[in-house]
């Protein structure tokens, strides 16, 4: 019903938030992005609305979703670049330069559901997701390809009182505030950290901002969380506590099940694993997936 770039302008705003970001990736001017998204919305009888700085759609999207399937197949055929989301640490470490045939998003959406929604609606084609949170293994639509595993650490500023204690007990941790996101953002992480009496000081953000996450812990006694990759990108001034958590983190590539055997996906997986292997000497904690 609409051409590839016209739908890309509409979905690009949902994905990337601003006409400037969409124009940069599609190599269009911002006025064209604005005009084409209006044409697209009118063609499908829907409207694009902004709420809390994020774009969303209202109206029946049945035909739109069918059109998205067709356009995703066109991207897989090489007619346009495929779309990749990541985390704020995997974007610079694994997606620079962008894997051949792919363009990367802002990679700062907080929470599982916003990212999974981009995949389910085929606005994005793949997402490099941080473990342990993943869709259910019996999810009818989505699958996960493991990339690596690594320990998750509790992070504090270098002069934190806990670093003077030996050994550190759970009761000691519970005396200090620890970062948390809104309920359900990362259900498994939330559940496991709450078992330890952590995840008790909520931070509200739809998009990652260092000053509200690791930056907060760098200024006071709040406990943060991270691993070797996130620390390399945003962990300045923070050090890990000498305590082992009962679960691990890592990276996995999430995508629609019907894309798993596509050559473009196989090439992406190969590239990501190759880049992780190059990082391993720098980060010995990285355990590469088979």
Determine if the peptide bond prior to 97 is cis (ω within 30°): yes
Please check whether residue 100 lies inside any domain of the structure: no
Whether residue 91 is contained in a domain is answered as: no
- % of the chain exceeding 90 in pLDDT: 92
At residue 59 the predicted structure's pLDDT band, cuts being 50, 70 and 90, is very high
pLDDT of 52 over the 90 cut: no
Helices (H) and strands (E) in the chain, counts: 11, 13
> For position 221, which CATH number holds?
3.40.190.10
Query: Is the per-residue pLDDT at 62 higher than 90?
Result: yes
**171 part of a folded domain:** yes
Is 288 inside a domain boundary? no
Q: What is the distance between the alpha carbons of residues 1 and 61, in angstroms, rounded to a whole number?
A: 13
Tokens of 119: 């995949």
Measured distance CA(6)–CA(114) in Å, rounded: 23
The CATH number of whichever domain residue 15 belongs to comes to 1.10.10.10
User: Which residue, of 13, 33, 63, is where some domain finishes?
Assistant: 63
Look at residue 112 and tell me if it is in a domain.
Answer: no
Q: Residue 5: give the domain boundaries.
A: 1-63
Q: Is 83 within the bounds of a domain?
A: no
Is residue 107, in this structure, part of any structural domain at all?
Answer: no
What strands lie across the sheet with 224-226, from one edge to the other?
224-226, 153-157, 238-240
The model's pTM is 0.95
Single residue among 45, 63, 81 that ends a domain in this structure = 63
Q: What is the mean pLDDT of residues 162-183?
A: 93
For the segment 216-271, what is each residue's pLDDT rounded down to a tens digit? 898 899 999 999 999 999 978 899 999 989 899 999 999 999 999 999 999 999 99
Question: pLDDT category, 197, cuts 50, 70, 90?
Answer: very high
Angle at alpha carbon of residue 102, lines to 284 and 29, rounded to 5°:
130
C-alpha to C-alpha distance for 209 and 281, rounded to whole angstroms? 29
Q: Are 289 and 148 in contact (CB under 8 A)?
A: yes
Among 52, 223, 255, which Cα is nearest to 152's?
223
For residue 261, being part of any structural domain is answered with: no
- The count of domains in the chain is 2
């Amino acid at each position: 019903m609409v051409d590839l770039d016209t739908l890309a302008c509409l979905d690009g705003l949902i994905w990337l938030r601003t006409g400037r970001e969409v124009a940069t990736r599609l190599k269009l001017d911002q006025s064209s992005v604005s005009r084409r998204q209006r044409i697209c919305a009118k063609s499908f009888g829907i409207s694009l609305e902004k709420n809390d700085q994020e774009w969303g759609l209202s109206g029946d999207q049945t035909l739109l979703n069918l059109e998205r399937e067709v356009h995703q197949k066109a991207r897989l055929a090489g007619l346009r670049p495929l779309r990749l989301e990541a985390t704020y640490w995997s974007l610079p470490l694994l997606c620079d330069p962008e894997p051949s045939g792919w363009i990367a998003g802002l990679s700062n959406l907080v929470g599982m559901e916003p990212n999974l929604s981009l995949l389910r609606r085929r606005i994005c084609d793949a997402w490099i997701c941080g473990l342990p949170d993943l869709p259910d293994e019996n999810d009818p639509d989505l699958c996960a390809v493991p990339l690596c595993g690594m320990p998750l650490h509790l992070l504090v500023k270098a002069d934190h009182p806990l670093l003077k204690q030996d050994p550190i007990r759970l009761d000691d941790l519970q005396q200090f505030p620890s970062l948390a996101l809104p309920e359900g953002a990362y259900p498994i992480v939330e559940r496991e950290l709450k078992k330890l009496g952590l995840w008790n000081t909520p931070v509200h953000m739809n998009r990652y901002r260092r000053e509200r996450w690791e930056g907060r812990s760098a200024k006071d006694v709040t406990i943060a969380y991270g691993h070797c990759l996130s620390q390399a990108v945003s962990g300045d001034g923070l050090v890990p506590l000498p305590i082992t958590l009962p679960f691990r983190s890592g990276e996995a590539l999430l995508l629609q099940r019907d894309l798993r055997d596509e050559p473009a996906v196989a090439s992406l997986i190969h590239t990501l694993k190759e880049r992780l292997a190059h990082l391993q000497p720098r980060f010995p904690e990285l355990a590469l997936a088979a």
